[in-house]
């Protein structure tokens, strides 16, 4: 990366347009995190995104940025809803991969030996691992159509959770405009047996304790109390979403080759959002996003049942409730103010999460006085964080913030670094019980492979685009 990077203010950096860049690239990061980004192609990718037609404002990169497919992971880009493009690489393969936080009134210190039993119960009840199949029967075509149209509401109708869960889910757990007919037969075949599954890779269900409250008012609004047990769930649309992305890349590739002037990276496949290819992808992407929300809703219910069976009682008895569910691989139609004018934009967030401020109409009523919850998961061994969106995020990043710690090692490098180590023993000595279906996944996802989430959260705070609310310390983790 040989372009000049200038400091805008503490925590914010900018690369001015050059060549075919239509807008600047703006990076939200500390000096340390920026230096880490220089070690891969993520800054180059942020500049490449700035070449896409219809891009508005700037090509943005969050503090957890690292190299991805076409867009950097941690990338945010908004395009004019009528004259801009949609890019599958700006959403990612795991459409609506996202994070869901559940709170309880259970005192973590009171669990004792039951903690291990609870971790094993969650591992048993929530199917995980590559190619895992769901705890519910393979969906019929009719049921799958309903899931793709209705999202999390389908799961609630079928006994997985409560209507209140939908109020605490981004977009109510359903994007309008989904069309099951836009989803290929192969994508449907891959998704039908996978509803209610965790998957593999960086997906997890983690039992945590609220270790420290950092913003009393916001924590109280979110129902977070120091010492209480929480559960953080990270998963997405599984094979269905992957196939939707793959299908769209193939369909759009030929049109992108004819782009004049040519785009700087052949991975930057895109189509006008108003074109037949663009409309078809958006309809399929929304369907995959709805599948992901239904998937997390089902898994939340499975975790609730595992908790009830292991600890006794029910949802009301142990104060089990959804704090929030937020997507971080998605493209959404939103209204934002740009240069003093309200505009309808198609906002791509790839490895980035929505971070709307207090008072925004899309923030649930219970949280509107403080703002939308934002989750920054850690790395199994170090804490995760709950943050809250800000007005600065709304003004500068289309209401977006980071989605996690961000990798520092490739999966291959992590496996090499883990060779010969007793990772399960290391984690237990750190006070974290790990139940993993695959030693390979455990090696790829070890804490050393990630940045410290605390550094990312501090960068968000300094830049003003999210404010820390609570630190969550891991107790037990279920991995694929």
Which residue among 203, 328, 336, 403 is the active-site one?
Answer: 403
Tell me whether residue 66 is one of the annotated catalytic residues: no
Cα–Cα distance measured from residue 320 to residue 223, given in angstroms and rounded to the nearest whole number? 10
Which amino acids are annotated catalytic? Answer: 403
């Amino acid at each position: 990366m040989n372009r000049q990077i200038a400091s805008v203010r503490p925590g914010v950096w900018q690369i001015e347009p050059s060549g075919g860049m239509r807008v600047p690239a703006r990076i939200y990061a500390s000096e340390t995190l920026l230096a880490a980004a220089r070690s891969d192609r993520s800054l180059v990718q942020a500049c490449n995104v700035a070449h896409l037609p219809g891009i508005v404002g700037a090509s943005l990169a969050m503090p957890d940025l690292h190299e991805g497919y076409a867009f950097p992971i941690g990338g945010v880009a908004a395009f004019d809803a009528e004259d801009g493009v949609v890019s599958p690489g700006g959403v990612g393969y795991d459409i609506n991969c996202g994070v869901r936080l559940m709170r309880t009134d259970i005192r973590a210190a009171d669990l004792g030996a039951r903690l291990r039993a609870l971790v094993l119960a969650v591992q048993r009840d929530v199917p995980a691992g590559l190619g895992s199949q769901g705890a519910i029967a393979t969906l019929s075509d009719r049921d799958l159509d309903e899931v793709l149209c209705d999202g999390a509401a389908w799961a609630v109708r079928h006994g997985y959770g409560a209507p209140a869960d939908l109020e605490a889910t981004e977009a109510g757990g359903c994007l309008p405009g989904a069309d099951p007919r836009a989803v290929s037969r192969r994508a449907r075949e891959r998704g039908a047996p996978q509803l209610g599954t965790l998957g593999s890779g960086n997906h997890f269900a983690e039992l945590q304790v609220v270790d420290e409250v950092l913003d009393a008012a916001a924590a109280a609004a979110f129902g977070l109390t120091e010492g209480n047990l929480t559960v953080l769930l990270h998963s997405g649309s599984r094979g269905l979403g992957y196939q939707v992305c793959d299908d769209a890349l193939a369909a759009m590739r030929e049109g992108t080759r004819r782009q004049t002037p040519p785009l700087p990276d052949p991975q930057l496949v895109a189509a006008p959002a108003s074109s037949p290819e663009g409309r078809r992808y958006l309809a399929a992407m929304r369907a995959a996003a709805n599948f992901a929300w239904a998937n997390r809703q089902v898994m939340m219910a499975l975790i609730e049942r595992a908790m009830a069976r292991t600890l006794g009682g029910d949802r009301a008895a142990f104060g089990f409730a959804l704090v929030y569910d937020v997507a971080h691989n998605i493209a959404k139609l939103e209204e934002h103010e740009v240069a003093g004018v309200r505009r309808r934009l198609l906002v791509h967030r790839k490895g980035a999460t929505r971070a709307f401020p207090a008072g925004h109409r899309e923030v649930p009523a219970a949280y509107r006085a403080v703002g939308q919850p934002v989750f920054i998961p850690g790395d199994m061994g170090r804490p995760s964080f709950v943050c809250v969106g800000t007005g600065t995020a709304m003004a500068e990043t289309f209401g977006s913030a980071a989605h996690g710690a961000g990798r520092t090692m490739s999966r291959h490098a992590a496996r090499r670094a883990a060779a010969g180590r007793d990772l399960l023993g290391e984690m237990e000595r750190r006070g974290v019980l790990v139940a993993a279906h695959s030693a390979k996944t455990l090696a790829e996802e070890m804490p050393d492979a990630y940045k410290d989430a605390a550094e990312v959260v501090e960068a968000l705070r300094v830049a003003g685009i999210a404010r820390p609310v609570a630190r969550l310390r891991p107790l037990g983790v279920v991995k694929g």
